[in-house]
Amino acid sequence: MTAILPPSDRLWWKHPMDRQETIWIIISFIWCMVMFAMMVGWHFFGKQNLATETYKVDPAAFAERAEAFAKKYTVRTETEQEVPVVAPPEGSDVYMIGRLWNWWPILELEKGKTYKLHMTSMDYNHGFSLQPINLNIQVVPGYEHVIKVTPNESGTYAIVCNEFCGIGHHEMVGRLYVK
C-alpha cells in the first residue's frame, strides 16, 4: 500500500521509471506540443481567429455611433418594434448593441464580403451566439470589441444571447441576414 505509506526510497525523485511510463510520457509530450502548435499555427494558416482589437468605451457614446450607422444604412424595418434592418456596404464599420433584452439592429450582410463588426453591451455581460452555425463571442460592458467578419454562406441567422443576463435572458434574440 505504498501510495498511503511513505515511499520506500526517501529520495522519491530518484525512483526508477518504468519503460512503459517513459514511452507514454514521450508520446503525451509530443501530443501536447502538437496541440500547442495548432493554436499558434491557426493564426497564420487558419481563417477563424478572434481579433483582439478592443477599446474602452462609454455605452452612451457607442449607442450614438450605432444609431448614426443604422440611420445611414437602414433599408426597412421588421417586427412590431420596427427594428431597423441595416445593410452596410462592404468593408464598412458595422455596429451591434447587446442590451436587456435584445440585439440591435438587424444586420444584412453580403456573402463573401468583409465587415468590421463593433460590439458592446449597454448593461451586463451578454453572449453573442450566432445560430445555426454556432459561433460564440462574449460581449462585455464597457469594452468595444472589433472583429472582422466574412460570412461565407447566405441565409437567415439568429443571434441568441447565451450569457445569463437577468430574468429576460431567454427572450434576448436577434437576427442577421446574409444575402
Q: Find the binding residues for other proteins in span 92-111 (CB under 8 A).
A: 106
The stretch near other proteins (CB under 8 A) out of 68-76, 86-94, 133-141 is: 133-141
Quick one: which H or E segment has residue 120? strand 115-121
Q: Mention every residue, 6+ apart, whose C-beta is less than 8 A from residue 130.
A: 136, 157, 158, 159, 176
CA distance 135 to 139: 13
What mask, x for binding other proteins by CB under 8 A, covers residues 147 to 176? Answer: xxxxxxx----x-xxxxxxxx-xxx-xxx-
Cell of 48: 477563424
Q: Please give the radius of gyration of the chain, using alpha carbons only, rounded to the nearest integer.
A: 24
Q: Which is nearer to other proteins, 42 or 91 (CB)?
A: 42
Closest separation in Å from C-beta 38 to other proteins:
7
Residues 56-95 that bind other proteins (CB under 8 A): 78-81, 83
Closest separation in Å from C-beta 26 to other proteins:
11
